[in-house]
Structure 1
Amino acid sequence: MQIWEDFLGDPLILKGLRFLIWIIFIVLCIGFLRKWAKRRIENVNFRYKAQKGIEVIGYLLIAILILVTFTMESVKDYTIIIGLFTAGLTFTLQELILSIAGSFYIFFVRVYKPGDRIEINNIMGDVIDIDSIYTTIMEMGEWVSSDNYSGRIVKISNAFVFKGPIKNYSMDFPFVWDELNILVTFDSDVELAKNIIMDCSNDLLADYVDKSKANWEKMVERYYIENAKLDPTIAMRLTDNWVELNLRYITDYKLRRSTKHKLFESIGQSILATKGKVVLASTTLQLLKIPEVDVAVK
């Protein structure tokens, strides 16, 4: 009992306990106010910002509490405690520290924001939330083809912003280049096929091209990057079986799948309307008859 009384009688221990109690109290208040805002605020955008504001204010209070607690008396009284505390954080909480640092980096550098479509740590999806430790993503791909949601919500540590590349599909330039291949037979009118593909792509992609040009001019002014061709282009390639016409075009990053569908549908209908002048190619197999052999057995 005497040891316990001496332990509690130490002013440093009492100050440390008070500090811990205040930390727990602030964390509980943050959680309570976030839940209150979630229940009472109906506007989704305002509710999200309010929750983030509560969280930031709470962490600022914790930072102020740390400064006040460890600077009220002589620094020499806390040299050992601070040293051990720092060593413990560095060894056991390095991932947590990196995650918190990553959250500040994400917010201040604007690496990405809620609503952006990104790919990080080989996971692609739309960012739906960013907190002090995790980035929450609505996953795309995996067993689902093209740019469709898989239905899984993925939480990624914010520390990953320091560990690898981050692919942002929507920051500064919300357009992506895509391609599709049209295969026609060798006896088709290839020039007519090219004209059909270009006419269909120009009709469907005119709005994307006009909007992307304005955005690309800002990209050229801001970054060290050369100007790029944004209008649809066609490249032809001859194979053993057919003529391959490769269409390269630009589209909205959220409408890549639907744009490709519309292009295929429009080009297919236009080719059928040529009444055989352009024929879509397909893989064919030619079966040869084995010659008959007469075998005489004596």
Structure 2
Amino acid sequence: MPDFLKDYFTDLSEGLFSTLNTPDAYFNKIALTVIVVVLAALFYFLVKKLLTRNETDFKKRLKSQKVLKSGVMVLTILSILFIWIQAINALILIALLIGVFLAFMVRGLTTNITAYFVIKYWKYFEISNRIEINGIIGDVIDITPINLKLLEVRGGLSADANTGRVIKLPNSIIFNESLEIVGGKNSFVWQEISYVLSFDSDWQAAEKMITEAGETYFEEQVQHQLKKDILHLSEQQAALRPVFSVDTNDAGIVLALRYLVDYQHGTQVKTELQRKILPQLISCSAIEFAVLEVKVFRG
């Protein structure tokens, strides 16, 4: 500890002990302390009563009462400090307490501002990117020095659609939570649709219908965008074409189509593919969807 702080606390202790060794001064300070506490309590309850009577809005009244309580407590503590400690020592102690409080408050502010520069100048993510952080998925709509705003996606919905809710998160969250970013250098993600057919269905015919729909979608909506916007991906187009897979489970034959889609249009594309594939599957008499058996237990 620095010497000036040791000297300060030594003088402070000596002043307190000297006060205790002087009975008259000791009892006077106790009496003044009691008076200050009583006056503070009376002032608090009087103003609180006035607020209750004149403020009809519950939220505003509750907020005002919290501010009043904090203010009265701070003033009471400061008054007691002036009573029990020499004025100059009280001022120094108050300054130290304020300094600690400000350091604590500024620490969070500084962290948020630092995170803001990391986001902006290191291109961590940008407005319109979709991110997932701490279980929250959303499109970035604003980045301020203090917080970032997300337009929530999914949020309990089955589709990747905006819920309409705006979520504010402190910028410092990027230092504490894992972050997944979509729509940075590459706005495409993989999605999948699947169908479960009965074991006696003509799954080869279904495969043809599904793969044709996937290839048509790729050539009409994806291929030209890859060439235009994402040159480093366009060179690997063979690996980016739709992928068809066949599997089985207890219910039947599982046919799945995995395809690239711009993350902002995932639900729209899935709906378009379903509208194209489902009528073909339903109209084919050799294809039947698997039906799950539901067992009902009766008591």
Same fold (TM over 0.5): yes
One-letter identity of the residue aligned with 2:248: L
SS in 2 for 1:188: coil
Q: Distance in 2 between matches of 1:258 and 1:252?
A: 10
The alignment partner of 1:113 has SS state of coil
Question: SS of the counterpart of 1:136?
Answer: strand
**Aligned AA (2:130):** R
User: Residue 225 of structure 2 corresponds to which residue in structure 1?
Assistant: 211
Give the residue type in structure 1 aligned to 2:182. Answer: Y
Equivalent of 1:277, from 281, 286, 293? 286
CA contact (8 A) 2:240 2:260 kept: yes
Does residue 149 (structure 1) correspond to residue 158 (structure 2)? The answer is no
SS in structure 1 opposite 2:111? helix
SS at match of 2:141: strand
Corresponding residue SS for 2:264: coil
Alignment of 1:113 with 2:126, yes or no, is yes
What SS does structure 1 have at the residue aligned with 2:180? strand
Partner of 2:191: 178
Q: Kindly indicate whether the alpha-carbon contact (under 8 Å) linking 2:149 and 2:168 is maintained by their aligned counterparts in 1.
A: yes
Please say which structure displays the higher CA radius of gyration: 2
Distance 2:249 2:202 in 1: 16
- Counterpart-to-counterpart distance in 1, 2:258 and 2:233: 20
Kept in 1, the 8 Å contact 2:131–2:182? The answer is yes
1:86 to 1:211, Cα distance in 2 relative to 1, 3 A: farther
Native 8 Å contact 1:172 1:215 kept in 2:
no
Letter in 1 for 2:149: T
Which secondary structure does the structure 2 equivalent of 1:186 belong to?
Answer: coil
Runs of 4+ deviating beyond 4 Å: 83-90, 213-217
Q: Distance in 2 between matches of 1:109 and 1:257?
A: 31
Question: In 2, distance between residues paired with 1:195 and 1:214?
Answer: 29
Contact 2:137 2:155 in 1 (8 A): no
Scaled by the length of structure 1, the TM-score of the pair is 0.60
Q: Which residue matches 2:143?
A: 130
**In structure 2, which of residues 245, 266, 273 is the aligned counterpart of residue 263 of structure 1?**
273
Relative to structure 1, the CA distance from residue 104 to residue 272 in structure 2 (aligned partners, 3 Å threshold; closer, same or farther) is same
Distance 1:228-1:106 versus aligned 2 partners, 3 A rule: farther
CA drift of 1:97 comes to 0.8
Identity %: 27
Q: 1:286 to 1:214 in 2, by over 3 A?
A: same
Structure 1 match to 2:242: 232
The residue type equivalent to 2:184 in the other structure is M
AA partner of residue 121 (structure 1): N
Q: CA deviation at 1:215?
A: 5.6
Q: Secondary structure of the residue that 1:254 maps to in structure 2?
A: helix
Q: Equivalent residue of 1:269, what SS?
A: helix
Shift of 1:121: 2.5
Distance 2:99 2:222 in 1: 53
Q: Which runs of 5 or more structure 1 residues have no equivalent in the other structure?
A: 1-82, 288-298
Question: Could you tell me the TM-score, scaled by structure 2's length?
Answer: 0.60
More helix by share: 2
> How many residue pairs were aligned?
200
Change (3 A) 1:160 1:285: closer
- When residues 92 and 121 of structure 1 are mapped into structure 2, their CA distance, relative to the original with a 3 A threshold, is same
Cα distance between partner residues in 1 of 2:233 and 2:121: 20
Over 3 Å counting, the alpha-carbon distance change for 1:227 and 1:193 in structure 2 is closer
Q: Which amino acid is the alignment partner of residue 260 of structure 1? A: K
Q: What does residue 53 of structure 1 align with?
A: none
Residue pair 1:212, 1:230 contacting (<8 A) in 2 also: no
RMSD over aligned Cα atoms: 2.9
Q: Give structure 2 stretches of 5+ with no counterpart.
A: 1-95
- Among 192, 202, 209, the alignment partner of 2:205 is 192
The CA deviation at 1:233 is 0.9
What amino acid does structure 1 have at the position aligned with 2:135?
A: N
Instruction: After superposition, give the CA deviation of every residue in 1:171-194 in whole Å (9 maximum; x if it has no partner).
Output: 000111011111111111111111
Contact 2:226 2:233 (8 Å CA) reproduced: no
